[in-house]
Amino acid sequence: MKYSLLLDLPKRAGWYENIAGHRIYLFTEAGLLDATGHRFDLDKVLAALDAANAFTAKGPNGEYAIARHVPDGRIIKLYHLDPKKMALKINSSKLE
């Protein structure tokens, strides 16, 4: 699997991977909060993403983040998100 830096924020926002020609974003918690501008509670953001079916993978017990090896050898939890579903289906009123 090849990783590339996401959003030019090394080791902060996350990474992406291409699976069968489709890009999946792998956000860290800090990166996800940065993407929302820190305007919303993380639990509400995760609930809205889940309602939009934006997660491409979840942990074995339904956790939103999955522990993954990253290029520098660390294991960190990442949120696996489909950018198309994030952009089209999230209604910001569900976050407030």
Q: Please tell me the total count of domains within the chain.
A: 1
> Which neighbouring-strand residues pair with 80?
26
**Are the C-beta atoms of residues 69 and 75 closer than 8 Å to each other?**
yes
Task: Fill in the amino acid letter for 67.
Answer: A
Number of helical (H) and strand (E) elements in the chain, helices listed first:
3, 5
Domain extent, residue 42, equals 4-95
**Hey, how many other C-beta atoms are within 10 angstroms of the C-beta on 35?**
18
- DSSP lists the bridge partners of residue 79 as 27, 65
Per residue of the chain (96 residues), give pLDDT as tens.
Answer: 455 544 334 456 788 888 888 888 899 998 888 888 888 899 999 998 999 899 999 998 999 999 988 887 889 999 999 988 876 444 554 555
What pLDDT is stored for residue 91 in this prediction?
52
